[in-house]
Every structure is written in C-alpha cells, then in structure tokens.
Amino acid sequence: MKKIRYMILSLALGLGSCQDIDTLQKDPGAITNPSADLILTGILTNAWDAPWSTDHRHNQFMTQNEAYYDGQAYGWTTGSYDTYYNSLRNVSRMEIEAAKTGDVGTHYLTLAKFFKAYFYSRATEMFGDVPMSEAIKGVSDEVFKPKYDSQKDIYIQVLKWLDEANAEMPALIAKKPAISGDYLYGGDLVKWQKLINSYRLRVLISLSKRADDTPDLNVKQQFAAIVNDPAKYPLITTNADNFQVVYNTVNTYPLWPSNGVVVKNDKRNTLGATFVNIAKATRDPRLLVVALPADALKGNADQYLRYGGGKTGDLQSTLLEDAGKGLLSMINFDYWEASAAGVPAIQLGAHEVNFSIAEAINRGWLTGNGADYYNKGVTESMKFYNIGQTEIDKFLAANPYPGNTEKGLQKILEQKYMAFFENSGRQAFYNYRRTGIPAFDIGLSNANNNQIPVRWAYPTAEYTTNEVNVKASLKTQFNGADTQNGVMWLIK
C-alpha cells in the first residue's frame, strides 16, 4: 500500500513539474517583446557606412598595395541583401511594437517610413530591381518568394514615404517625444526632418538621367518644390545638422588600434591619385589636413607638389614599389587618429545638399544662383576639416563656379567628390557611375575586362530560394544576364 501511495505521489509531482517543450527551449535571457526604442537602436547600427573600407578604394580615395588583400581591382561579382532586408525586418517589427503603444509611439511609425525609403533605395541602387511590395511578408502573409519590383516603382514609393514622413514631422516635433533609442541625433526630430528632406534630394538627384522621361516621378518638380519652400521642407545646410556617426569607447573608431598605440606609418595604404591630383591642381587645403607629404617629395618648394597619389589602375606590385620609394602620401595620422574617437563619419552632410542644389540649378531644374550653393558646399566641407575662412575664400577665388554650363557642372561634381572623402559610403562611386565625373582610373589591375562595374549581381541564395522571380526580373532588366556590368534603369 505504501508503494502505491509513493507511486501516486511521484506521478503527481512529475505531472506538476512538466513543462511544454517550447517553453523549455526559450532562452530566459532573450528579449522576446522588444520596445520600439530598442529596435530603433539596432536599425541605426546598420544604417551607416564605416570609413576606411573597400568602398573608399573603389571611390579611388585610397589604394592598397598589400598582395594578401584584394586591393582595388573592381573584381566584385555578387552582393548581399542581408544588411538591407534584415534592417527592413527590424523596421517592420518597430512598426508593430510602436502601434501597440498608440499615440505614444507615433514618431516611430514616421521614422519607419524614412527607414523603409532609406533601405529600399540603397538596395535598388546597388542591384537594380529588388523585392519590395511583397517583401518582409514571410511571417504575416506567408509570402516566401516575393516578386521583384521595378526600379521606377520602387523610387515612386520611396519618394512617397519620404514626403509622408516630412508631412507628419511638424505635429510630432510639437509633442517633443522622448526617443531614448536614437544615438545618432539624440531624439531631435527637428534634425530628423532635415535628414528626411535632404535624403529626398539625394534620391531625386540620383534620378537625373530619368528626369525628362518619367512624368509620374516628377523629379524636377519635386526637387524645386523642396528647395523653394524651406519652411515646409527644412534641409541640412550646415554641419551642425549632419547625419554622422560619432565614435566612442562602445562604437570604436575603425582606425584606432586596440592597444592604443598609434603607429604613424602605413605604406600599405596610400592616397589615390584621382583624389590627390584634383587637390593638387586646385591647391585644395583639405589635402594638407588629411594627408602627409610623400617622403621623396618633401624637398619641393611648392607644398602641394610634396604629395603623391597611387593610380587605382596600377598593379599592387607597382604601388608597393612606389610606396617603398616614398612617392605616395599616407594619411595624416595626427589628424585622423588624434584620439580614440577619431573623426566623425558623415553619412549625409551639408556639403552634399548644397552641391546637389547647385547641380539642380545648373541642370535648369529650378532658378537660383548656383555659385551660392557651390560656395556653400565647399565652405561646409572645409569647415569640417577646421580650415579657416581666409583659406576657404582663397580657394574659392582661385576656383570659382564658372556658371551654368558643362564646365560648371563638372566643377560642382568634382568638388562634391572631394567632399565625400572617407564619408558617405559609396556615394562618390554612385555619382561617378551616374555622371562620369571625375574620370576614374582604369589600368592593369582591373579585373573586370577594363571596365568599372556598375552594379552587383544578386545574392546566390536568390537562385535557390526565389529562382523564378529573380530570373524573370533579370530577363526584364538585362536580357537574362546577372553581371556587374548590367546597366540598370536608374543610369541608362
């Protein structure tokens, strides 16, 4: 009898201690219901491009001559969606969590519109057509093989999101909500509104080749409407409002050594000739800040002739030899590594906005004095490097805006390129791809049949998970070929 009672008690205890296997598999330390502000922090982490990367060698700002690394051969083929679509999934989740809080979370819904425009436009400018209307619907609608949307439709939607986000901002700004997850702008929605409209100008100017044949996009009209109504569409026009990453002990500066000991010598990485030659020809004081004189050229009386850049098209062995002879300039370590915080990395700055407006005036999209915006673009860029007004005025006097001509357009685009140095990710490359300015160097190192690539092929995973749709899109865009040389609609 005692044995039976013991068995019953054991069974009861066992049943009482049973848990669902799904419960047991859950990580007790995991955040399963994140708040919108925490999700925003994660989104921001993937919303910016680091300096001193391969991108900036492909921008021809720097060259790399160590054979162990890939250098600057333009040999890329495929790319990855991960950064963009992972971020878009987080944006979708932020919308869901913000909606649960009612009016308290409205500002996150507005920021979500910006981020959807931001990540979809970045994806399409890299690849061409990409999934949008059916994307991020795997969980909600069980759409696991989304169709590809045309670039034109993507840009129509991107511009619509940005317009809606701007329209919603004034009411949100008046409420002064607390946004604890924003480590880039500190929750300042006034600055976010300026970024939204400035990013819209970036998108519109990137569509310059489509400005005359897409009335449903209204590229010129939209651009003019924004610039002509600063009260409704405030913009980033000074460095105080730059969208930039400020480094610290948590978000560490890419160049800062882990042991804190700065070695002021790196002949493996030297400046690119495309950048240096423009700086020397225009006697640009930014060169004297960002770079060091080349060892073998220090004897020149003219300080600008003390600098040398490596040609991106040269073989790495040639660049290594030139660096060994002291013919190439290294970065100025005392500037870029003055402290562990380094130098902020601008993602979209006042210089870009002003140059884009100058370009639009040059192209006849709106009336105005292109010289004013050209001068402001140069000024804000030089101020970023702490160059004094006297030197800025001297440079502008020697390099004036030559008017709304082809020469004037070249001057704007050339100075926009110079202002992008180690900032704004691939924007220098994308502007070259769109305009051909400045001329990029092509030589023996080129691994793409003496061509600068114009896109990235789709991720190989698409051919196993979404083959029908990716092939249908390729047939429409590039006659079925998925190469880095396919000319997408944006730049035809």
87: how many CB neighbours lie within 10 A of its CB? 22
Residue 138 pLDDT grade (very low, low, confident, very high; cuts 50, 70, 90): confident
76: how many CB neighbours lie within 10 A of its CB? 16
Residue 21 pLDDT grade (very low, low, confident, very high; cuts 50, 70, 90): low
| CA separation for the pair 484, 41 (Å, rounded) | 33
pLDDT score at 35: 94
Q: How many residues does the chain have?
A: 492
pTM of the model: 0.93
Q: Which residue has the tokens 């992972």?
A: 86
Tokens of 33: 């219901």
Cα Rg of the chain, angstroms:
26
DSSP 446-466: -SSTT------BPPTTHHHHS
Stretch 203-218: mean pLDDT:
96
Structural contact between residues 111 and 87, judged by C-beta atoms closer than 8 angstroms? no
> Looking at the predicted structure, is the pLDDT value of residue 382 above 60?
yes
| CA separation for the pair 303, 296 (Å, rounded) | 13
pLDDT score at 3: 44
Residue 31 pLDDT grade (very low, low, confident, very high; cuts 50, 70, 90): low
247-252-254-260 Cα dihedral, nearest 10 degrees: 110
Structural contact between residues 454 and 433, judged by C-beta atoms closer than 8 angstroms? yes
pLDDT in tens, 259-279: 999 999 999 999 999 999 999
Q: Return contacts of 463-467, CB within 8 angstroms, 24+ apart.
A: 465/144, 465/145, 466/131, 466/145, 466/146
